[in-house]
Amino acid sequence: MRTVIFDLDGTLVDSSADLIAAANHCFRARGLGDLLDPAADAETAFHGGRAMLTLGFSRVDEHDKALVEEDYPRLLEAYGARIARHTTLYPGAMEAVGALVEAGYGVGICTNKPEALAEKLLAELGVREAFGAMVGADTLAVRKPDPEPFHETVRRLGGTPGRTCLVGDTETDRLTAQAAKVPSVLVTFGPAGETVAQWGPDAVIGAFGELVEVVEGLGL
């Protein structure tokens, strides 16, 4: 069976505002105020909790890695408590997923978000059942760009190795696809914008309405 594996944050959903809010919760608890901006720092949000904390603390000359590790569990707790307050699916995302399923593709998610948080977010958005498999950052002992989480997602779908592709928004997704020896499709509507083209994906899309035709053109 042919499969299409999606990244989550920055690809299927815009979760940057809720991620930034969780980081700012940690900074406010230390009396530092809101150190991150939901719009300007959106790209950092998609690099994970530790990246957000590191950036925020750097703005007040706090470079102690111990602070990042101390606040990371607090960030996850704060994020989980309000995981879908501002998060939205990108326009056309679920229509594209449905069209792929109708065309005979299996669809799954491979994300560097912790598995429990990814499951909770998908459930709160009401779209978990649309995906046949979901592998998170801590599902296995390794995470993207190691190819094993991607391969595991394909296996859980019952997919055919080599007849699959990865849809994402970051260089990590491009490197994951390269390591897995499969095509990559990167979106330009995520925080990296048009710069995704510089990472050399097999295809780039500016809207989900383009996805099915692009995937069909990959010859999976």
Q: Whole-angstrom Cα distance, residue 219 to residue 60?
A: 50
Q: Which two tokens stand for residue 69?
A: 């590790």
Residue 177 CB partners (closer than 8 Å, separation 6+):
150, 165, 166, 168, 183, 184, 201, 202
7 is an active site residue: yes
Do the bridges between strand 184-187 and strand 203-205 make them parallel or antiparallel, or are there none, so unpaired? parallel
Q: How many CB atoms lie within 10 A of CB 187?
A: 28
* Catalytic-role residue among 7, 9, 18, 169: 7
| CA angle (199 as vertex; 202, 167 as ends), nearest 5 | 50
| Cα dihedral 189, 195, 200, 204 in deg (nearest 10) | 20
Cα distance from N-terminal residue to C-terminal residue, the chain: 9
For 63-72, the CB contacts below 8 A with 24+ separation are: 71/26, 71/30
Residue 19: which of 96, 97, 81 has the closest Cα? 81
Beta strands in the chain (DSSP E): 3-6, 13-14, 88-89, 106-110, 133-135, 164-168, 184-187, 203-205
- Catalytic amino acids? 7
